[in-house]
Amino acid sequence: MDITEFDRGLILHAFALAGEQGWARVSIAEAARRAGLPLDQARARFSGRTALLLRFGSMADQAALAALPAEDSVRDKLFALVMRRLDVMQAHRAGVLALLRALPFDPPLALLLACASRRSLRWLAQAAGVDTSGLRGELRVKGLIGVWLWTLRAWQADETQDLSHSMAALDTALARAERMAGWLGRSAGAGEDVSATEPPEAAPPPLADAV
């Protein structure tokens, strides 16, 4: 078994535990036992739940970035990237929802995952061809965070098999972002106020901008 398969197995059973018992009761050792994985290797790979979550986020990013069509528009690329990331979360839905419910009661974890999410979304923006350098770049990343929060909120309540409600929410958020000059990578005209690149306002989900 290679490292990726090992990590996937442990993550699968950790989120299954979270769905059954709540995130606070998840044990890496118990997840390893359920997965039939050696405890010494589990300890070597994951010192705790935080390490597991960061690895999960990295794997979600890799899945999103694996096959990005070069000919699509920036908006289409962002749509595909965000939905692929959601698809990874959907595969562990019960556990991820349990994690999100736990975040308001664990501020350090919520802060850590918020920072990790910002890094992930910067990667997605750059992969789609969005310039994230400088002040305008930071505003564009902030805009994508707004898009992510809006879509994540929809995903939490989305019980459709094809995530159609989540896709509709994402499409709406990206359409709004696209209407704002410069946000999806267009160059602002001379003398244009940088505030024109402000992201779409998105009511944050009732939990946190994580995962």
Give me the number of domains the chain comprises: 1
Report the percent of the chain where pLDDT is more than 90.
77
Alpha carbon distance 49, 124 (integer Å) = 24
Domain extent for 64: 57-197
In a domain, 25, yes or no: no
pTM value? 0.85
Task: Phi first, then psi: give them for residue 158, nearest 5 degrees.
Answer: -85, 115
In a domain, 207, yes or no: no
pLDDT tens for residues 2-50? Answer: 999 999 999 999 999 999 999 999 999 999 999 999 999 999 999 999 9
Answer whether residue 60 shows pLDDT above 50: yes
In a domain, 93, yes or no: yes
pLDDT tens for residues 136-164? Answer: 899 999 999 999 999 999 999 999 999 99
Q: Transcribe the chain into DSSP letters.
A: --HHHHHHHHHHHHHHHHHHH-GGG--HHHHHHHHT--HHHHHHH-SSHHHHHHHHHHHHHHHHHSS--SSS-HHHHHHHHHHHHHHHHHTTHHHHHHHHHHGGG-HHHHHHHHHHHHHHHHHHHHHTT----HHHHHHHHHHHHHHHHHHHHHHHH---TT-HHHHHHHHHHHHHHHTSTTTTSPPPPTT--GGGGPPPP-PPPSS-S--
Angle made by CA atoms 186, 116, 94, in degrees to the nearest 5: 110
In a domain, 182, yes or no: yes
Structure tokens at 122: 């910067």
**Where residue 131 sits, what CATH number does that domain have?**
1.10.357
Alpha carbon distance 14, 35 (integer Å) = 9
In a domain, 203, yes or no: no
Nearest by Cα to 177 from 140, 129, 127, 126 = 140
Q: Is the dihedral of CA 166, 25, 37, 114 positive or negative?
A: positive
In a domain, 45, yes or no: no
Alpha carbon distance 110, 103 (integer Å) = 5
Nearest by Cα to 113 from 5, 4, 210 = 210
In a domain, 73, yes or no: yes
In a domain, 8, yes or no: no
